Amino acid sequence: MAAAFLLLALLGPASKSLESREAPRYTGRVNDYASRLSEDSELILEHISFRHEKKYGDRIILLTVDSLKDVDAEDFSRKVLESWKLAGPEAKKESVVLVLVAVLEKQVRIHTTEAAREFLHPNEASSILGKSVLPELKKGLYSVGLFLAFEEISGSMSAEHEKRKRRESGPEAESAEDPADSQKSSSQEPSAKPAADEKNEP
């Protein structure tokens, strides 16, 4: 039986020294340093992230590591984004969501910058992890679990963006929108759920 993953949405335990765990090099939208994903699965996640960023501007990024090496997940997530110039004083005010998976510690976390938090509430992030992502990761199905993470993060943030657009445009824009057109648009580009990886958690 696979050991349970620890859900860490936006709060973490007391921090420890970061000296023992440096931020890995940024390689793109999918940084699978723990080698949990197949090449096809990486491409699917990259596509979801690219599609969302192109339309709404938010960046959804994955980082998997073998171990946190006794570093707190929240502090490590923050350090990673600062190292990648996606957060912190040297970065622009960007909307970034980092999905962090630590295999040895069996921890998964959704970390958001302040700008991203306007479109993905901590409670929603926690719900996505608990209801959709963790059940798959417990079975060692990283491709499926992380696909669901990216899809549901994108879906939740997209809905909030659209809600704000309608609110800013006023009631005229809401009444002018054709529900049939909206439904058609949302179904034009379906995402295929990836097959489960052969790799399981150690």
Mean pLDDT per block of 10 residues along the chain (202 residues) reads 51 40 92 97 98 97 96 94 83 89 95 95 95 95 98 98 91 54 48 48 38
Cα 155 to Cα 141: distance, rounded to the nearest angstrom:
21
Given this model, what pLDDT does residue 108 score? 96
Tokens standing for residue 166: 């309608």
Give me the phi and psi of 107, to 5 degrees please. Answer: -120, 140
pLDDT attached to residue 150: 98
Rounded to 5 degrees, what angle do the CA atoms 115, 120, 123 make?
130
Q: % helix / strand / coil in the chain, to the nearest 5? A: 45, 15, 40
- Given this model, what pLDDT does residue 75 score? 94
Q: How many H helices and E strands in the chain?
A: 8, 5
Cα–Cα dist 60/150, whole Å = 7
Q: What is the DSSP letter of 133?
A: I
Tokens 């899809």: give the residue: 151
131 in Cβ contact with 84 (< 8 Å) = no
CATH of region 6-13+23-165: 3.10.310.50
125 within 8 A of 118, measured Cβ to Cβ: no
